[in-house]
Every structure is written in structure tokens, then in C-alpha cells.
């Protein structure tokens, strides 16, 4: 029914897909697997019409088709539930689901009653705990993922693409989803499921197509394979399973940060760790496993439900991130425009902003002081700028992120928290940012870094805590810090799993 042949796609110099191919029949459920950056989401976006392929052939019912837009994809009876969510925060659940295909009544008018009844029945069937007139911005992430699926299903597709939709779902919600997917499959809907939760695929899919570095490297019958084989196809190496070492042996060391049984709803569950002065700690795991929420709870941006945080021997309970900053904690986000830079301020003001927030209230700050200290950072870290009073938006993405790094280097916080800080940054800038962190750690700064890039974690971290479904699955250090063990841990694999 659906066939992709030798699909190619480049983004600048980066090859996302290179001769990727796979085929599926009517009513089949196929898992599309691969490590981070393997090209899975790009392939889904090509079928969904949000990304155009550079080369290759797409066939539906043996006929070649071109997909140049989302509208063309929908006309071909393809629907996508996206990992990033396509919901509009300020539109109601009902409006989000039906946008673009409201059921019409007589005289072409929208039949409000039929539309609302239709959406309500889908939400109930999929187990969504929300009302028709609620707004996505007010709902938890698991409910938003279900609504994203409902939105895709509402188009009555022949081909349904699900991109990491279970990442934010709880166990009971996954069971309800799988029951609905089986029912759709029996009606002839072909389903492509992208997931990193390898244990799930054996319960829902018949086959798995595996991508590595943009190429399709295997097409396996899931009844005749095991997790080890799948991880091997994903990484090119035999998976290694690591036991979970304890932090108890570190109790006598110079612990700057001690987290004990930290819990935040369903997103973070009973997380404990000890971090020493001058360490660079990596927080790994698939997206949505609790790493970002954990980091933000230390920063005071998300309140704790239970557990404790001890910094330099003193228990803290920050009510805001401003309290954390004044206590010597810095935070850098990979989402520069939303969480890191002040778009309407100059380069110098952006660099100086952390120092300003840590200073005494009403203490005088001269423009000369801002320019002098900001220029020092610019020169020391080779940030490419025009003039220090130019707007921050005049810089490239990489140089904007170097400004944010420089902001915190200027004040030398005791602890620096980073949430995927090099996302969207070129290789050269990333290398420079890593050098910033190493130099800061050598001078005694403690660094915790979340990254979606496994190579980055392996390159820079002294130890890596791997998150899985809100908890710490294991901690990797020394010779255990290998790609194979990291990928295995991210998939939630244990010694027991490896025997499957």
C-alpha cells in the first residue's frame, strides 16, 4: 500500500536521510526505529508534507505520488500525530481537533452539535481527561499527546503516522492507545509508529524498520528477533548492559549538590544523586523522561512534590528561579528565544544581566561598567559581534548561545544547569561551548547538562545519569560510558531484558 524508495534529504551540510526505504501493507502496524538523529522524524515529516524530500519515490497503492504540503498529504489520506505537538495553545481542544475539516450541515454551515459530539466520542474512546472547551496551555503533557493523536485520527486516515506519541503517556494510557490502534488496524488503517520504548513495539507492531545515519539498515519480523538485535541494528554494535552503581561510595567526597528522593508528579519519581565540586554531570535519556523537569526543579522553576535538595550543606527550597540565581545557581536553555536571550536588549546587556540580578538592590550600574565587562567576555571567548551595543538578535544562533554562556561565566555560579544548550548550534560553536564548560569545571564550577545528543554526553560528562520514565535507570561512569551502554540504558534495558 505504502512504499518509500531511496528517500534522500539534506539540511545544509547535514544528511538526514540517505537512500531510506520501506514498505507496508494495508492494516499493518510497523515500528520505525533508530537512535537520535537517525532520520525517523524527518521521514515522518516528509510523509506529512511539512518537509520536502530531495530525491526518491513515494508510492501509494503502487502509484507514485508527490507530497509538497500538509494539504497534499491529507488529500492522500495520511495523518500525523507529531512529537512536537501541532496544537495551538489558545484554541480550545474542540477547535484544535476539528480545525480544517469541520463537519458541515445544511447550506454549508458548521454543524456545531455534530462536531462537538464527534470530538467528545473520540476523546472518550482514547481516554483523554479533558473537556471540549479547555485550552491546551492548561493541560498536562500526557493529555496533550492524546489530543494530538485524536486530532490525527479525526481525519479518518488510511495511513496514520505516530511520532513518539507514547513518550509522555502513562502505562494505562499506552494500553488504551494500543487497543485503539489495533481496532484501526482491523479496519484497514496502516500505522507507522516511531518510538524509543523498545519494550512497547513487541506488544503492538508486527515488523520494525530500523534507520541508522539516515539509511534503512534492517526490516525485521518482531516475532523472530529480540531487543539486543534491534539495538545492534540501531548502533552497529552489540549492546552492553550495565548494572546500576550506587552513589553511596561518594558520600565522603566534596558534594556540592545532594538530591534525595525528588518527586514531581508523574514526570520525576524518587530521583537521588550526589554531585561533587568541579564535576560535569550528564543527564541522558529519551525526550520526555523527566530530565528537564528535574533540572528546572533545582533551579526553582518547578515546585517539588516531595524530596529534598541540599546545596553546599544547606537544604534549600527555592520559591523562584530568582532565589536560585541569588544563591549562585545558573541556568542555560537550548531554547534561546524563549528562555535565554532578551531579544530587545543589546549584546552587552544580555551578558551583564545575570550579574545585575545577583547584585544588591538599587546598587548603581553604569553603562561603562556593562560595556567594559561585556567586552571582556566577548574578547576572552571569541564571540563574533559587530558592536557591544548592537541588539542580541544581530548575532548568529551559535554566537547568541556563546553570549548566554558568557553571561554565567562572568558571575561564576557554584552550579550551572544546562538544558540541551547546544541544540541547533554548529559543530565549531559546540566545541567552543564545551571548552567553556571544561574550563569552568576546572576552576571549581559544578555542571549538570541535559543533552539529546549522546555523543555530546559521552564527550563531556564525567558521569551520566540515565533517566527512564521519570526515574534514574542507571549511572554510567569510567569504562561504562560507551555508546552501546548509553543507548541500552535509554531504552530501559536491564540485565533481564538482555536475555530476551
Supply the CATH number for residue 144's domain: 3.40.50.300
pLDDT of residue 252 exceeding 70, the answer is: no
pLDDT band at residue 232 using 50, 70 and 90 as cut-offs: confident
On average, the pLDDT of the chain sits at 87
Does 209 lie in the same domain as 67?
yes
Does 218 lie in the same domain as 285?
no
pLDDT band at residue 34 using 50, 70 and 90 as cut-offs: confident
Q: What is the pTM of this model?
A: 0.66
pLDDT band at residue 500 using 50, 70 and 90 as cut-offs: very low
User: Is 240 within the bounds of a domain?
Assistant: no
What pLDDT was estimated at residue 94? 97
What pLDDT was estimated at residue 342? 86
Among the residue ranges 68-82, 269-283, 432-446, the one predicted with the least confidence is 432-446
pLDDT of residue 56 exceeding 70, the answer is: yes
Does 268 lie in the same domain as 125?
no
Among the residue ranges 29-38, 60-69, 172-181, 241-250, the one predicted with the least confidence is 241-250
User: Is 298 within the bounds of a domain?
Assistant: yes
What pLDDT was estimated at residue 498? 44
Give the residue numbers spanning the domain of 363: 255-499
What pLDDT was estimated at residue 385? 84
User: Is 480 within the bounds of a domain?
Assistant: yes
Q: For a pLDDT cut of 90, what percent of the chain falls above it?
A: 51
Cα-based angle 125, 128, 129 (whole degrees, multiple of 5): 130
> Who wins on pLDDT, 168 or 151?
151
Does 493 lie in the same domain as 362?
yes
> Rounded to whole angstroms, what are the CA distances from 111 to 105, 123, 137?
5, 19, 26
What pLDDT was estimated at residue 499? 41
pLDDT of residue 25 exceeding 80, the answer is: yes
pLDDT of residue 273 exceeding 50, the answer is: yes
Q: Give the model confidence (pLDDT) of 92-131 as tens digits.
A: 999 999 999 999 988 889 999 999 999 999 999 999 989 9
Grid cell locating 241? 548492559
Does 455 lie in the same domain as 383?
yes
* Gap between the Cα atoms of 199 and 211, Å rounded: 18
> Rounded to whole angstroms, what are the CA distances from 57 to 20, 124, 217, 401, 442?
10, 38, 18, 39, 52
pLDDT band at residue 251 using 50, 70 and 90 as cut-offs: very low
Does 112 lie in the same domain as 210?
yes
Cα-based angle 261, 263, 265 (whole degrees, multiple of 5): 160
- Of 200, 235, 270, the residue that ends a domain is 235
Does 118 lie in the same domain as 164?
yes
* Gap between the Cα atoms of 390 and 384, Å rounded: 12
- Which among 148, 142, 150, 143 has a CA at the least distance from the CA of 125? 150
pLDDT band at residue 372 using 50, 70 and 90 as cut-offs: confident
* Gap between the Cα atoms of 264 and 290, Å rounded: 9
pLDDT band at residue 296 using 50, 70 and 90 as cut-offs: very high
Does 73 lie in the same domain as 39?
yes
pLDDT band at residue 428 using 50, 70 and 90 as cut-offs: low
What pLDDT was estimated at residue 196? 74
* Gap between the Cα atoms of 181 and 203, Å rounded: 11
Contact between 250 and 431 (Cβ < 8 Å): no
Coil, strand or helix: which one is 40? helix
Q: Give the model confidence (pLDDT) of 138-161 as tens digits.
A: 887 789 999 999 999 999 999 999
- Which among 171, 129, 137 has a CA at the least distance from the CA of 150? 129
Query: What pairs with residue 329 in β-bridges?
Result: 415
Does 275 lie in the same domain as 349?
yes
State the total domains in the chain. Answer: 2
Does 294 lie in the same domain as 206?
no
Does 409 lie in the same domain as 358?
yes
pLDDT of residue 245 exceeding 60, the answer is: no
Q: Where are the beta strands (DSSP E) in 25-147?
A: 29-33, 55-60, 63-65, 78-81
- Of 186, 205, 235, the residue that ends a domain is 235
- Of 185, 201, 235, the residue that ends a domain is 235
* Gap between the Cα atoms of 338 and 194, Å rounded: 28
28-34 average pLDDT score: 94
> Who wins on pLDDT, 425 or 327?
327
Contact between 15 and 4 (Cβ < 8 Å): no
User: Is 243 within the bounds of a domain?
Assistant: no
pLDDT band at residue 369 using 50, 70 and 90 as cut-offs: confident
pLDDT of residue 1 exceeding 60, the answer is: yes
pLDDT band at residue 38 using 50, 70 and 90 as cut-offs: confident
> Rounded to whole angstroms, what are the CA distances from 394 to 390, 391, 404, 428?
7, 6, 14, 19
What pLDDT was estimated at residue 244? 47
- Which among 471, 488, 461 has a CA at the least distance from the CA of 242? 488
Does 301 lie in the same domain as 201?
no
- Which among 417, 471, 470 has a CA at the least distance from the CA of 440? 417
Which residues, 6+ apart, have CB-to-CB distance to 419 below 8 Å? 291, 292, 295, 296, 331, 332, 333, 334, 335, 450
User: Is 354 within the bounds of a domain?
Assistant: yes
* Gap between the Cα atoms of 309 and 460, Å rounded: 25
| φ, ψ of residue 104 in degrees (nearest 5) | -100, 145
**Helical spans, DSSP H, in 383-442:** 397-411, 427-442
CA atoms within 13 Å, Cβ hemisphere of 482 = 13
pLDDT band at residue 387 using 50, 70 and 90 as cut-offs: confident
User: Is 407 within the bounds of a domain?
Assistant: yes
User: Is 381 within the bounds of a domain?
Assistant: yes
Amino acid at each position: 500500500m505504502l512504499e518509500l524508495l531511496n528517500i534522500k534529504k539534506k539540511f545544509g551540510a547535514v544528511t538526514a536521510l540517505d537512500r531510506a526505504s520501506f514498505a507496508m501493507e494495508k492494516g499493518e502496524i510497523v515500528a520505525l526505529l533508530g537512535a537520535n538523529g537517525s532520520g525517523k522524524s524527518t521521514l515522518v515529516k516528509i510523509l506529512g508534507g511539512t518537509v520536502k524530500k530531495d530525491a526518491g519515490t513515494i508510492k501509494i497503492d503502487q502509484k507514485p505520488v508527490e507530497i509538497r504540503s500538509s494539504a497534499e498529504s491529507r488529500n492522500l489520506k495520511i495523518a500525523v500525530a507529531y512529537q512536537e505537538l501541532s496544537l495551538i495553545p489558545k484554541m480550545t481542544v474542540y477547535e484544535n481537533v476539528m480545525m480544517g475539516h469541520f463537519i458541515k450541515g445544511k447550506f454549508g454551515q458548521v454543524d456545531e452539535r455534530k462536531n462537538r459530539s464527534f470530538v467528545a466520542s473520540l476523546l472518550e474512546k482514547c481516554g483523554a481527561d479533558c473537556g471540549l472547551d479547555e485550552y491546551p496551555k492548561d493541560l498536562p503533557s500526557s493529555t496533550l499527546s492524546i489530543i494530538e493523536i485524536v486530532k490525527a485520527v479525526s481525519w479518518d486516515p488510511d495511513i496514520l503516522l505516530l511520532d513518539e506519541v507514547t513518550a509522555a503517556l502513562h502505562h494505562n494510557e499506552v494500553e488504551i492507545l494500543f487497543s485503539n490502534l489495533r481496532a484501526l488496524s482491523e479496519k484497514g488503517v496502516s500505522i507507522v509508529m516511531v518510538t524509543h520504548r523498545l519494550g512497547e513495539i513487541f506488544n503492538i507492531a508486527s515488523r520494525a524498520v530500523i534507520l541508522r545515519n539516515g539509511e534503512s539498515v534492517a526490516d525485521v519480523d518482531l516475532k523472530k528477533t529480540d531487543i539486543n538485535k534491534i539495538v545492534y541494528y540501531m548502533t552497529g554494535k552489540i549492546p552492553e548492559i550495565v548494572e546500576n552503581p550506587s552513589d553511596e561510595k561518594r558520600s565522603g567526597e566534596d558534594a556540592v549538590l545532594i538530591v534525595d528522593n525528588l518527586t514531581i508528579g508523574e514526570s520525576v519519581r524518587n530521583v537521588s544523586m550526589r554531585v561533587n565540586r568541579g564535576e560535569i554531570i550528564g543527564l541522558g535519556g529519551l525526550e520526555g523522561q523527566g530530565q528537564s523537569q528535574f533540572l528546572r526543579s533545582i533551579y526553582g522553576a518547578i515546585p517539588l512534590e516531595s524530596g529534598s535538595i541540599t546545596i553546599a550543606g544547606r537544604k534549600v527550597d527555592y520559591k523562584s528561579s530568582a532565589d536560585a540565581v541569588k544563591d549562585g545557581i545558573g541556568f542555560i536553555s537550548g531554547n534561546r528565544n524563549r528562555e535565554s536571550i532578551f531579544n530587545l536588549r543589546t549584546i552587552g546587556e544580555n551578558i551583564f544581566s545575570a550579574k545585575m540580578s545577583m547584585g544588591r538592590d538599587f546598587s548603581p550600574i553604569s553603562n561603562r561598567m556593562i560595556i567594559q565587562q561585556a567586552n571582556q567576555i566577548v574578547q576572552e571567548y571569541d564571540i563574533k559581534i559587530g558592536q557591544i551595543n548592537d541588539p542580541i538578535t544581530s548575532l548568529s544562533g551559535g554566537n547568541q548561545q556563546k553570549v548566554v554562556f558568557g553571561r554565567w561565566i562572568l558571575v561564576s555560579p557554584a552550579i550551572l544547569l544546562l538544558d540541551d544548550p547546544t541544540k541547533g548550534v554548529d559543530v565549531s560553536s559546540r566545541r567552543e561551548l564545551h571548552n567553556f564548560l571544561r574550563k569552568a569545571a576546572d576552576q571549581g564550577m559544578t555542571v549538570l547538562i541535559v543533552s539529546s545528543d549522546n555523543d555530546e554526553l559521552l564527550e563531556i560528562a564525567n558521569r551520566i545519569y540515565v533517566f527512564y520514565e521519570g526515574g534514574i535507570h542507571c549511572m554510567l561512569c569510567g569504562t561504562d560510558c560507551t555508546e552501546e551502554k548509553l543507548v541500552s540504558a535509554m531504552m530501559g534495558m536491564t540485565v533481564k531484558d538482555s536475555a530476551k
